[in-house]
Amino acid sequence: MAKSNAARKGASVAAPAAGKGALASVSGGRASLAPDLDKVIHERVRLAIVSALAVNPSLSFNELKSLLTITDGNLSVHARKLEDAGYIASQKSFAGRVPLTEYRLTA
């Protein structure tokens, strides 16, 4: 990458002024660009669950597990968090003697 003229001459380059268009400060190694994002849904696995359900009317536990390639326990915990927050709903039933959990997005 080429250096700017000011950088080559050893001059200091001023940081952009705070305000519109400037990046927010970095705190704890993460940029706080949008502090109003809902942390419940914006975690990687939870966002993947919601995204998968956005394009399918409903998915079973095993379909989600296979699609996202995550463990039973991981899917169970993340689905429960989304359900508690009201983003998804689950319906538990049996297919023969096998339990079947179906997930869908809430309105």
96 burial via Cβ count (<10 Å: 0-12, 13-18, 19+): exposed
Q: Between β-strands 88-95 and 26-27, what pairing exists: parallel, antiparallel or unpaired?
A: unpaired
Distance from C-alpha of 56 to C-alpha of 59, rounded to nearest angstrom: 7
3-state SS assignment for residue 99:
strand
Q: What is the pTM of this model?
A: 0.66
What pLDDT tens digit does each residue of the chain (107 aa) get? Answer: 454 454 445 544 445 455 555 545 455 555 556 667 788 888 999 999 999 999 999 999 999 999 999 999 999 999 999 999 999 999 999 999 999 999 999 97
Phi-psi region of 3 (alpha: psi -120 to 50; beta: other; left: phi over 0): beta
Would you state the pLDDT for residue 42?
87
Phi-psi region of 28 (alpha: psi -120 to 50; beta: other; left: phi over 0): left
Would you state the pLDDT for residue 38?
83
